[in-house]
Structures are given as structure tokens and as C-alpha cells.
Chain A
Amino acid sequence: MTVPPTPSNVVPPDLTTSKSVKTVTGITVRLAGDSGDGMQLLGTQLTNTSALAGNDVATFPDFPAEIRAPRGTRAGVSGFQVQFASEEIFTPGDTLDALVVMNPAAMVTNLADLRKGGILIANVDGFNEKEFKLAKVESNPLEASVIEETYRIFKVSMTKLTRDAVAEFGLGTKVADRCKNFFAMGLVYWLFGRSLDTTLRFIDAKFGKKPDVAAANVAALRAGWAYGETTEAFGESFQVEAATLVPGTYRNMMGNQALAWGLITASKLSGKDLFYGTYPITPASDILHELSKYKNFGVRTFQAEDEIAAVCATIGAAFGGTMAVTASSGPGIALKAEGMGLGMILELPMIVINVQRGGPSTGLPTKTEQSDLLQCMYGRNGEAPLPILAPRSPGDCFDIAVEAWRIATECMCPVMILSDGYIANGSEPWRIPDVASMPKITVNHPEGTDTDEPYMPYARDEYLARPWAIPGTPGLMHRVGGLEKQDGTGNVSYDPANHQHMTDTRAAKVDRIAERIPDQDIFGDPTGDVLVVSWGGTYGSCHTAVKQCREAGRKVSHAHLRYINPMPKNVGELLRSFKTVIVPELNKGQLRLLLRAKFLVDCIGVNKIQGKPFSVSELVAAIESHVADSSSATADPHSSANGKPKAESIAG
């Protein structure tokens, strides 16, 4: 038996195209197929390859909540969108330049996003009567004349070509057919001038132990590339030059990974081992998967029996002097609420992460939404304010995690991080920081004494933080608990004046964090017609929309909040410096409610609850409808037709 060639023993030929190459500034492509077709893998590979080519990249994976939704149906369509560009980008793109579809269901559910004249590549082997029935289409959607007229369509017999390409390895049909995503990948790589190297390395690492499968995937990948090069149908391919980014060493980074790495970094910077107590839930679970790999960094992960156990074990670890973190998504955060209230009154430092998803209840587990803001602000019994930070992009999750731990230890309280599914699963290039130059996080535990005087566990510093005396320290024995405590001693107290005092003190402690955080920055002028205020994962769309409006001469600026509670000191002043304040959110107007209540400034909401992020164009339209010269605006701010976001004013 001969050993089949594997990526490591095959020298890749120099793959340069002989056809004409058109240089463009950016391309948005979406890969869509059945949830078993390997579209997420394909997308991730394309992302990594593009990042390594020096492009700025942004991605948007979109998958069904079911592990394997019924094959071939619209519910089972799994998609992965990536934009790669030679300039700085902030979103995975609005309209698609190219769409690759593996079956009719993928085509009909995604075609609306393909721009006119865009490239549609279809695996025609996936287009047959059986598939039409599954996709609930009456006839072959590829044959509609409007399709031919509107798009540049390429019908490729991917399944058959893949089978031919891998025939020599003697795999079963099922295994052979599974290689067709690599064929599609090869074709996409040819079309966009991507190198095969990264993916060849990936195949080697992933399938190295199954040499026949590895060799088949390599063959399929090369066959896809060769198909693009040889077939007459494709007249040209495209080239995207490297982007000009801040100098440094980069890697691709997903949001949940960045959170995990940020937590590990904060643990190192503070000289504290990390305890992570959690219960699996989409889309937060990947933080657990990531952290559990790094036990050699002193990370202890605890997969609890439920969400309540997770938050409570976290508090137990915090009481013991460890850096303690718990994470979940909205439904799990609801279960953790009582524990979070206890952590708050115990005044122990810890981090609670909410990776938001569509709600309410189980809602849309795999889709994004920002509707847990008020839950995190107010969703606990009693007066229980907590600091809240929100990352604005996948890479920003890293910095937010470090910042959250700094605040938690300085102020001695649980700190919340509000991420979302869009950030968690999205990715972008991340400049690797120099760890040695990152500021340390100083954590002090009071030293022991040999006196038998009762210890004062609730004595406070100038920022109202109490000392973090930990078990094992002689002479500082004390008891904490959920019953109201007497200031200073921490003893149980039902004294009415003390309860008022402690409630005020705990609130003031959170408010004083504003003294330690930077002022709110602004993109654009400090005054003007319209201020767009956003928070969390909508940063990229809002920033790009404001940029476009400014390039069109509009007096529009953008303030993106990373600190939600407390807000930076100058937010009120900023709001009052513009004629109109627009607050786009993937909820019914939760930040808008806070801004109006806190600053008595009218704010106009742009609100979308579709499990999808904002597109830049819909935000541009919403902004345009509110610029000073509204007579020229064409968009109807109150229109909610066609699934467009509904712009509304509380005042209206």
C-alpha cells in the first residue's frame, strides 16, 4: 500500500493565476449551505487567510440554534460572512459582493443581500427536485431569468468535481462528499487571490492522523482552485491589497476568545489565580472552552450543576481571595440575580459576564440582541447597583476584561461585562500587546494581627471600598452575609438609619468610579446636528454610518459608550451639544431610557429586534432622516415596513 500524499509531504506549487486580476478595496462574501456542509469552517479559513494577507477583516457567523436542523431546509441554513479590505473596516459588510450557496435553501434565504451585479456561485449538484421540496421552492431558483439578469452567476458541479478529485483515495461517497467545502474554498481562494498555505497547514494539523482524509481535502482544495483557473466561465479574479493598520504583530481574534485571554491577563497582572464558575449556555460557552485549556496559567474552571451554583461558587472563591469570574447569557443571568445581589452586599470583587442573545426567555439562542441592559442595571431585588462595562468589538473584549478586574478590585464589588452574540462569535485582527508594558493591577489584602480586637471588615477607603481580608489571615476573622450590615463592623443591623446609610454608600461607591475612568470620547465634532450614541456590539455599524454621513458633509458625530454604569462624567454635556441625539440599539430603547432619565435630554431611538446586527445603510438612512435639513430627507422615520428598523421617539 502506498502512503497517500499529505500536506506535509506535498510541496505546494506556486499558485499564480494567468488570468487578469482586478484590484479592489474590499470584498464582502457570504458562504451559505446546510448546517452539515462545513460553512463555518470554510468561513474561518477564509478569514484567517485574509488576515494573514494583511487585510482588515470582520466576520459574522450565523447558524441555526439546532445542532443539525433538518437537512436542506431553510431552518438548517448555516452562513458565514466575511469582509476583507485594504482599508480599516468596522463591520462584516452590508451587501454582498459574492455569495456561495451549496443548496436551494441557502440561495433563497440569502440572495436578498447580494448586490446587483454580484457574484453568485452555486453548487448545482445541490439543486434537484428533492432539494427544491426541502427548501419549499416550486422550481429551480437558479433558472429564473431575473437571476441571470441581475447577478453574475456561476453554476459549478461541486459535488461531482469533488468526487472525481478525491476518487484516488478510495473514500466512501459520504466521506468524499464531505470534502466539497474544501473544493468551494479552493474556488473562493482563486477568485480572491488568497494563498492556500494557511489552510494546508490547518488540514495538516486537523487531519494529520487520518492521512487519507487529509490528502482528499487537499486534493479538493486544489481542484477548486484549478477549476477557477481553467474554466472559461471566470474571466478575472480579484485582489485586495494589505490594509494600513497600526504597526505591530497581529493575529485574528474572536470576541469570546478575547474575553478569556483578557481574564487570564488580568489574573497575571494582579498576581491572582483565576477561578471561573459557569454553566454551559450559548453564546457564552466558548469562554469556558477557551479558559479550560489554560490550567497551566493557574486557571481553575468549574462547570457547575446550574447557573446559581456557578455564581455562588464564584462568590465563595472571591471570599477566599481568588480572581473569580462567572459568565452566562441573559436567561442564566436571570438565575444568577440573587447571587449577584449577595456579591454586591458582601462587597467582594468578581466579574459577571453576560454574552447577550435574543430574548426573552430562551428566545433566539444563536442570534444577537442588546436587550439585557436593563436586566443588568436593575434586575436584582433591592437597591443593588453594579458597574457595567460593554466591549465594542471582538478585540475590545480583551481590554474590557482587564479593565473590569481593575475596577472590581479597586472598588470591591462585582463588575458586569455586557457582551453579545455578535461580538462573541465575530472576529477581527488584534494587535498583540506587549505584556511587560501593561500596568499591573495592585491587590492588597490586609495583614494579620495577634490582637483579639473585633476586626472591622466594612471600614472604607476614600473610594468607599472595604478591605479584602481573606480567610487564613490571623486576627481578621469576620462574618459576611446577605443581611444588612452595620457600617464598619459588618455586624447584622436592622437600624433604619444604617440601612439608608449603607444603601447610599454602596450606590455612591459605584458612582465614584466615574472619577477613575476616562471622559467619553467622540468621533467627529463636539457639537453639530446629530449625535449618534451607541453601546456594545453596534459600534462598527454606527461608526461606519457616521463616517459615511460625515463624508457626505453632514454635521454628525458619534459617541460610543464602553462604560455604561457609571457613565463618563461628560456624557450629559455631550448630549446637550447636539440638536438631535439618535440612539441605535438592538432592543426597544433601553440605553435611550437611561439617557433620558439621567440627563433629561430627548433621544430618538433606532431600534431593531430581528436577531441581526444593524446594516450600515439602514443606520445611514435613519441618520439622514434627522439631519438639520430634514426637508431633503427621504426616509420615513416612523416606517417599520419590510423589516427595516423602526425609528421612534419617546416624545413622539
Chain B
Amino acid sequence: MLPVLKAADFASDQDVRWCPGCGDYSILAQMKKILPDLGVPREKTVFISGIGCSSRFPYYMNTYGMHSIHGRAPTFATGLKSTRPDLMVWVITGDGDALSIGGNHFIHLLRRNVDLNIVLFNNRIYGLTKGQYSPTSTEGQVTKSTPMGSIDHPLNPLSIALAAEGTFVARSIDAHVKHLGETLKRAANHKGTSLVEVYQNCNVFNDGAMAYAQEKKQRADNVVELEHGKPLIFGSKSDKGIRLVGSRLEIVNLADVAVDDLLIHDEKEPNPAIQMMLARMRYPEMPEPIGVLRSVEGVATYNDQINEQVELAKQKKGVGDLQKLFSTGDTWQVA
């Protein structure tokens, strides 16, 4: 019988040092809240982060943890999970960490489908280095390093994850705590790599950048909550929907269009084409999707396969015997 743990049991003895009002606090709180429900002991839980404000996260958890180097958390986690599949591994990263310096590793982690969970804190700014634009900053955004506005086209983490054949792709919002907790829990229960992008407010360097999605009043009109098997309906009066017309999505008024004509969300569809269309919906033209865009089961994980090959080799060739190995092939005696 496992001891019943509470959120507080997952708190380390370290003082949390994020700026007052930072969205990170909410994510930390939700994580501590859902972990006891997962039934995984603390000592079997590992948090691995890269560099950035979000990446201080492991220090605040009373689990095993590693604060690593910039952008590389996915690789440490891959090495750990490949050799220790018994552990529950979380990768904590930010938009700069995961998509800029770590973009390469982010893609490869997803395509390998290592059985772990990525939580990507996206505040569309570099917080720790004090306010430069990030790969998800909007075009024209004025920051310390872009006084005339950013000329980079922003990356969309969900599109990248889907393009890399990610098997679990989701988005949530720091301020939408219930939704965040539920999404994290679903991610944890997914076998394979799960990605949860969390819209997270940096109230110091990019305050309100995602207020349209974070503030309760605006959220209903600017965000569509996805639920598997349900039509895409949104709006403060639940009076709007999303319809698929040809190869594009459009907003319709439910006064004009029957619910049956709306797009029904299918997170289990292996072909990611429509999920990709959802990922590409951007404010202000379209409501942005939150929830699980894609959850495909049954795809082999890297950690299972690397370990299965070892077992298979042992079955086929027998457990390795050094003395036998050394003596195979051409040998000769010297008396």
C-alpha cells in the first residue's frame, strides 16, 4: 500500500525565487497538486530542466531533479529514461530553451517518442536574460534587442510537435488552473512523449502578452477548448463554432449553422492534418485552441524499444559471456 501523499509532500526545502506574480507559481502549484493522484512515488519522479526562469522548477520539487544546460534537457531525459524506464520523467522548459537553442533536441525527442512529459512554459520573451525577444515573440514586438520590432517569424510549438509526429500534443494556460491540472494529468498518463505548451505570463518583461487567453473575461471569445468527440464551440455565450470548409477552418455563428455541421474534434486521428489546422489558429483572426490536440496511443516508445532489443539479443545469443567473446574468431596459442 503506497502512503497517501499530499501536494505539500512534493515541495522541497528551497525558497521559490520567481518574481512576484509570475505565472510559474501557478504551474508549480498545479504540478504539486496532480502528482499525488498519479500514484508514482516521489523517489521515482525526476524533473529535468534546461536554463531559464522555468528551469529553476526542479529545485522546488522534493523529487529527484537535474537543472542542466541551455536547451538540452530533452537529451538528459532521453539518456535517463532509456536506461531507467521505471522512472517518471518530466522535462521542464521554456520557449527560448526548447525552441531556440534546444530546437533540434525538441524535435528529436518528439519523433523518438520517449515516454516522458514535456511542459513548455511559453511567455514569448526571454525572462532570465532580461527581456530579449524569443522564438515565439510576435512579429514587430519591441524588446531590448529589437528596438525597431522583431523581424523573425514566430515559431508555433504545437505545429512543430505535430510535424515531428508527436503522439500527445496539448496546450493550457497558467491562469486556467483547473484546465492546466487536468491537462498535465492527461499528459502524465500518456505513454510516449507528451507535450503541454502552457501560456505563461511574464509580468516583468512581457506582461499581458497573452491576456486575451488568460483573462477570464476575454478567454471565452478568444479560446476554444477542445474535447475529443465534441464539436468546436466557443464564445461567452457558446454561440460560435468552427467549421471545416474544404481545406480551411472558419468561424460560424450557431444562429446560422447547425451544431452538426461543426468540426468534431478527433484527438485520436493518426493523420495530423486537421490537428495541424487547429494548431495554426491564431489570435486575433481565430480563437486559439487549448486542451489536447492529439493523443495517439500504440506508437512504440524509444525506451521500450532500446530495452526490448537488449532482451531480444539476450534471448537470441544468450547473455553475453566475455571469455567466449574474446575467444571467437581467429586465435592462436603461444606456449
Contact = CB atoms under 8 A, between A and B. Distances in A.
Greatest chain A CB density within 10 A among B13, B72, B306, B333 is at: B72
A248 B310 CA distance: 32
B72 A317 contact: no
Given A309-B105, A319-B76, A338-B69, A472 B87 contact: yes
Given A275-B82, A479-B65, A305 B105 contact: yes
Contacts of B86: 472
B64 A296 contact: no
A478 B64 contact: yes
Interface string A405-424: 00000000000000000000
Interface string B80-116: 1111101100000000000000001100100000000
B94 to A, nearest CB: 16
A318 to B, nearest CB: 8
B68 A479 contact: no
Interface string A310-349: 1011111111111010000000000000110010001000
Contact of A249 (B14, B76, B104, B327): B327
Contact of A296 (B41, B63, B313): B313
A317 B89 CA distance: 13
A316 B79 contact: yes
Contact of B320 (A294, A308, A319): A294
Interface residues of B, number: 60
Q: Which 10 pairs across A and B sit closest by C-beta, in order of nearness?
A: A481-B67, A316-B79, A297-B320, A313-B79, A316-B76, A295-B313, A312-B75, A479-B65, A316-B80, A296-B313
A54 interface: yes
Contacts of B43: 448, 471-477
B303 to A, nearest CB: 10
B304 to A, nearest CB: 12
Contacts of B309: 295
Nearest to B331: A251
12 contacts: A249-B333, A251-B329, A268-B322, A304-B75, A304-B108, A309-B75, A317-B79, A317-B80, A436-B323, A471-B44, A472-B43, A480-B65
B44 A472 contact: yes
Interface string B41-63: 11110101000000000110111
Nearest to B322: A435
A261 interface: yes
A242 B332 CA distance: 11
Interface residues of A, number: 75
Interface string A464-499: 000000011111111111110000000110000000
Contacts of A316: 48, 66, 75-81, 83
A338 B70 CA distance: 10
A357 B68 CA distance: 30
A651 interface: no
B12 interface: yes
A275 B42 contact: no
A601 interface: no
B83 A322 contact: yes
Contacts of A321: 83-84
